[in-house]
Amino acid sequence: MPVRFVRTWLLGSLLGLLLGKAGWAQDGAWLAYVDSLWQQGAFAEALALLNDSLQRTPNAAELLWRRSRVRVELGMRASEKQQQRALYWQALEDAQAAIAADSLNSQAYVAAAIAAGRLALVSGARAKVEHARQIRAYIDRALALDPNDDVAYHLRGRWHYEVATLSGFERTLVRLLYGGLPDASLEEAASDFRRALAIRERVVHHLELGRTLLRLGDRAGAIRELKRALALPPTEPSDTTYQEDARRLLGRIR
């Protein structure tokens, strides 16, 4: 067992004891510690702590959506698509359990939308279409509960982008299975990414706005947003990956 993991496990156990037997797993200090592990990219350690605490409090929404988020990050880093799909399914199940435990927890719906979105990216055309409807419902509920959540606006922007750029076969499948999807457009995608940025500046918001503007034919705007993505200091686990994407995209359009 890695030394770092042992230290993390011991510290997490100590925190659990210090915070008491009743309700310790949802104490703000303990949750902040788990969040700090996520921020550092220590996903395996965070998952171990969450697994342990969920054995004690299996219906804790705050723990379930956090485990969903950790599993998504692990899935993004998995080398095989089958492993990715399994982790995303588990993440979606965690988020759905969080919603069942607390239907007013906006972060549970955000986590569900993220997990379903990632699952759609590694699924076939039919599953992708099925997830698209599910994702939009999660996002709309998250925004109804918290209209100031920049991540939820980002997710709605991604939804608009993905639906607006469906292939002809996928669009036919949508019509046959569901009679269509809610209206989506690249313009709405750009608007949502801008709303997300107005609430909080993040590397990924600039990246996706730049990508969308490029599809809309606004080359200058795309270059501006991609440069802004590169100028920000990385503050989240995937920021360096997003900046690599921005750098590659910028290199192709210059």
pLDDT of residue 86: 97
Domain ranges across the chain: 1-58, 74-200, 202-254
Question: Can you name the CATH fold of 74-200?
Answer: 1.25.40
pLDDT of residue 19: 41
Rounded Cα–Cα distance for residues 234 and 230 (Å):
9
pLDDT tens digit at each of 254 positions of the chain = 454 544 454 455 544 444 444 444 557 888 999 999 999 999 999 999 999 999 999 999 999 999 999 999 999 999 999 999 999 999 999 999 999 999 999 999 999 999 999 998 898 877 777 888 899 999 999 999 999 999 999 999 999 998 899 877 777 776 776 666 667 899 999 999 999 999 999 999 999 999 999 999 999 999 999 999 999 999 999 999 999 999 999 999 97
- The structure's pTM equals 0.87
Architecture of domain 202-254: Up-down Bundle (1.20)
pLDDT of residue 53: 92
Whose tokens are 């922007």? That residue is 157
Rounded Cα–Cα distance for residues 146 and 109 (Å):
11
Is residue 205 a contact partner of residue 150, using CB atoms and an 8 Å limit? yes
Question: C-alpha distances in angstroms, 110 versus 3, 34, 73, 116, 123?
Answer: 34, 18, 14, 10, 20
Rounded Cα–Cα distance for residues 113 and 99 (Å):
12
pLDDT of residue 173: 72
pLDDT of residue 181: 67
pLDDT of residue 179: 65
The token pair at 95 is 């988020």
pLDDT of residue 26: 55
Instruction: Give the ranges where the chain is alpha helix by DSSP (H).
Output: 3-18, 28-40, 43-56, 61-77, 81-101, 106-121, 125-145, 150-164, 168-178, 186-199, 203-215, 219-231, 239-253
